[in-house]
Amino acid sequence: MIERGQRRTLDGTVVSDKMDKTVVVRVERLARDPHYEKYIRHYSRFLAHDPENACQVGDRVRIIEHRPLSKRKRWKVQSTLSKAKGV
């Protein structure tokens, strides 16, 4: 049996769940500015597959690399780390 390579995982926050079986996940990272020598937040947005429509806006989720499912969707929701408060 052929072993699959190590797939990347990222943690982020769901910012949109308006699509069917798809969520938009915002992933934050800190990068050091070489000139000012302070840390700046950078954000990336990923479309992730959510087959059960279980995620809601504000949830913290872990996404994992996946085969292409559509033009921009190459990630899948692996697990929900915490649910949104107050919704």
Give 12-66 pLDDT, tens digit per residue: 999 999 999 999 999 999 999 999 999 999 999 999 999 999 999 999 999 999 9
pLDDT digits 0-9 by tens, 65-77: 999 999 999 999 9
- Supply the DSSP symbol for 4: P
Domain ranges of the chain: 9-82
SS3 13: strand
pTM score, whole prediction: 0.88
Q: How far apart are alpha carbons 10 and 46 in whole angstroms?
A: 10
Residue 13 pairs in a beta bridge with 26, 60
Whether domain 9-82 has CATH 2.40.110.10: the reply is no
